[in-house]
Amino acid sequence: MPRPAARDAGGTAAAASDAGPASGLYLHAASRCGDCHDKMFGEWQASAHARSARSFAFAAMRAAAPDAAGCDVCHRPLARYAAPTSVSDDGVTCDVCHTLRAVAAGAPSPRFELEVTQPVKYGPFCQLDDHYFHRMGCSPLHRKSQLCSACHQLEIQPPGGGAAVPVYTTWSEWQATGYARDGVECQDCHMPATRAAIAEGAAVTRRVGDHRLATTGRSAYALEARGRIAPEQGDAIVVMVEVSNRGAGHYLPTGSPDRRLVLRVLALDPGGRELERAETSFGRGLLDAAGNPAPRGRAVRAGEDTRIPPGGSSRRELTLRAAAPEGRVRVELARRALDPAIAGALGVQPPADQVVLTAELPYRAAHRAGDLARRVRGRP
């Protein structure tokens, strides 16, 4: 008789000294899965899931958290089992997603079950023959957003009590959209399928999801910019930018409250030299008891939410006062993985911003007002 599923994140975890049949656990490094599933393994290596246990931001957050094991539940799920470090440090690895059997969707903290006591790997295909290395398990759950809710929805109880603080809200954001009502699942955007072999040597007969989990080939971001000369401000250049969320089934940015979407404008002279810049950002931070930006482990409440909702837009006005008589204004929209205020609190250096859209407004001394008045759209 099969043993019951080992429980993770709130259940009773199985204990063993090694991962493998002798210990009663069937866990392997992702590279072992890559021996037969090279396409999926290569894509996964480029994903945030592959970096979940090794990223510098996670390491800093974990060190600052009062309960490091609480971070491991989602960032190193196999650490709750007696898996070797080489396996658990793979983060959200093949043997996490493909042993996932049940999820308590919408729970304030992660509640999910992994079946690691049987040599069965679960996925969305239900008519596959068992393999010599593992058996094949049918899981309709793997086509549903509920699967992702296991770790992409989290509230924390602040130190000393008080109202729960929302940390990760992507699942509930999606639930409130037309995407959810129309049956557009997370996997439809984050795992677009292409025809491929499901394993080495198999025929190319199925549409297999992309395991990078990124929205490759499309962008949810859009911006339109328009500028004017402001004589009342000493011929300063005033730039009005509208940033829109035109394709995401969640807010922008979503996920970690330490992320920001940054909008900046730069005044450039005819040679491209930067004269001045102005910037603003969109985000949803957490605050400590003094009202300062705080990492999750020190947060007692949520701060202002200035993110852009699905299908929504936000307008911001930025002013440049050091523009040359001739030149151009460059508009940039960038993703910022870690708010500098949080990086400072953690004592780490934030990574560089990643520019996703740009637009330029050229101007000349004689006609600069007319040139700046035209509306331009951002391009990748």
H, E, C per residue of 319-341: EECCCCCCEEEEEEEEEECCCHH
- Is omega for the bond preceding 253 within 30 degrees of 0, making it cis? yes
| Four-residue CA torsion sign, 68, 117, 4, 129 | positive
User: Does residue 4 surpass a pLDDT of 60?
Assistant: no
| Residue 15, CB-side half-sphere exposure with 13 Å CA sphere | 1
Helices (H), the chain: 30-34, 38-45, 48-51, 56-64, 68-75, 85-88, 94-97, 146-149, 170-175, 178-181, 186-190, 340-346, 368-373
- Model pLDDT, residue 188: 94
- Model pLDDT, residue 84: 83
Residue 3 banded pLDDT, cuts 50, 70, 90: very low
296 torsion bin: left (phi>0), alpha (psi -120 to 50), beta (else): alpha
Residue 111 banded pLDDT, cuts 50, 70, 90: confident
Homologous superfamily of 221-377 in CATH? Immunoglobulins (2.60.40.10)
Residue 1 banded pLDDT, cuts 50, 70, 90: very low
- Model pLDDT, residue 215: 74
pTM of the full predicted structure?
0.87
Q: What radius of gyration, in Å, describes the C-alpha atoms of the chain?
A: 24
Tell me the pLDDT tens digit for each residue of 6-52: 434 443 333 222 344 446 789 999 999 999 999 999 999 999 999 99
Residue 371 banded pLDDT, cuts 50, 70, 90: low
Mean pLDDT is lowest, of 62-66, 136-140, 255-259, 372-376, for 372-376
Q: Are 120 and 128 in contact (CB under 8 A)?
A: no
The average confidence (pLDDT) of the chain is 87
Q: How far is 377 from 358, CA to CA, in rounded Å?
A: 8
Q: Are 13 and 7 in contact (CB under 8 A)?
A: yes
Q: How far is 93 from 210, CA to CA, in rounded Å?
A: 15
Range 243-255 average pLDDT: 95
Residue 78 banded pLDDT, cuts 50, 70, 90: very high
Tell me the pLDDT tens digit for each residue of 278-310: 999 999 999 999 999 999 888 999 999 999 999
Q: Which residues, at least 6 apart from 23, have a Cβ–Cβ distance to it below 8 Å?
A: 16, 17, 82
Query: Which of these, 254, 262, 223, lies nearest to 350 by C-alpha position?
Result: 262
Tell me the pLDDT tens digit for each residue of 182-224: 999 999 999 999 999 999 989 998 899 999 998 765 679 999 9
Mean pLDDT is lowest, of 61-65, 104-108, 155-159, for 104-108
- Model pLDDT, residue 2: 33
Range 321-339 average pLDDT: 89
- Model pLDDT, residue 76: 93
Q: Are 121 and 136 in contact (CB under 8 A)?
A: yes
Q: How far is 3 from 122, CA to CA, in rounded Å?
A: 16
Domain range summary for the chain, segments of one domain joined by +: 7-209, 221-377
How does DSSP classify residue 141? G
The beta strands (E) that lie in the chain are given as 7-8, 100-103, 112-114, 120-123, 135-138, 154-156, 165-168, 193-196, 206-209, 221-230, 236-245, 260-268, 274-287, 301-305, 313-320, 327-336, 354-363, 376-377
Helix (H) or strand (E) holding 152, with range, is none
Q: What are the C-alpha distances in Å from 332 to residues 185, 267, 323, 358, 359?
A: 30, 12, 17, 5, 7
- Model pLDDT, residue 370: 57
